[in-house]
Structure 1
Amino acid sequence: MNYFTQVWDENRDDEYADWGTSVWYFETNDADEVLKQITVYKNGKTVKYSLDNLEDEFGGLCEGALTIDDCDGDVISKEDFYKIW
């Protein structure tokens, strides 16, 4: 498994724009498929998606392959990912 982040320095473009900027956390497999995803917004709101919870009214699990190079993020440990999860 791979674990990494992406900082999103823009607000959402919807009715939740006041949540602020966000940090995204990803767990991907060796085929670069996103298995779990967490988004933590500046206001503290957190949304989580996985194969068991693909989407809700706030968003959904990233589709397709994704690597740290696509995100220009930071590698994190499995332990750090699951502290947030």
Structure 2
Amino acid sequence: MQRFCSRRWHESRGDDFDGWGHSVWYFAVDDGGWPVRQVQAYDNGPVRRYGPDHEQDQYGGLGLASLNDPDDDWNDYVVDRNEFERVWHSADNKQLVTHERGFGTGRSRHEDGRGSTGRRPRTAPR
């Protein structure tokens, strides 16, 4: 059964797109807590959407950590399916303004400063 969460990040990206500002992230996660769909809405406009048909791009990608992490309780951030679906369907990657200079890693950092280090293993081929 999917679970849906939303959480505000109180840090900027720390990369070439730092000017996007802070963000609110929305997740649909599987039974193992792994993100299967995700929306990142930045304070200064850009919105990124990732899922099975678009897992990553030069700006970021689907979450790399399970939300079932015992060191980080996500129960306070659960939202209902309707809220997630509203955000998912309104998200449009085309709102993004591209830059000519080099791209950052696209990884955002959690409000406690932890970042991701790699992609989770795939369970099925593309």
Please confirm whether the aligned pair reaches a TM-score higher than 0.5, indicating the same fold: yes
Partner of 2:97: none
Return the alpha-carbon distance in structure 2 between the equivalents of residues 27 and 58 of structure 1: 19
Return the alpha-carbon distance in structure 2 between the equivalents of residues 24 and 6 of structure 1: 5
Q: Structure 1 vs Structure 2: percent identity of aligned residues?
A: 32
Shift of 1:29: 1.2
Q: Which protein has the larger Cα radius of gyration, Structure 1 or Structure 2?
A: 2
Q: 1:37 to 1:44 in 2, by over 3 A?
A: same
The equivalences for 1:22-41 within 5 A come to: 22-41=23-42
1:4 aligns with 2:5: yes
1:56 aligns with 2:57: yes
TM-score (norm 1): 0.88
Gaps of 5+ in 1: none
TM-score (norm 2): 0.61
Name the Cα RMSD after superposition.
1.8
Return the alpha-carbon distance in structure 2 between the equivalents of residues 30 and 66 of structure 1: 10
Partner of 2:80: 77
Residue 6 of structure 2 aligns to a residue in which SS? strand
**Off by >4 Å, runs of 4+ in structure 1:** none
Q: 1:77 to 1:22 in 2, by over 3 A?
A: same
Aligned length: 85
Partner of 1:42: 43
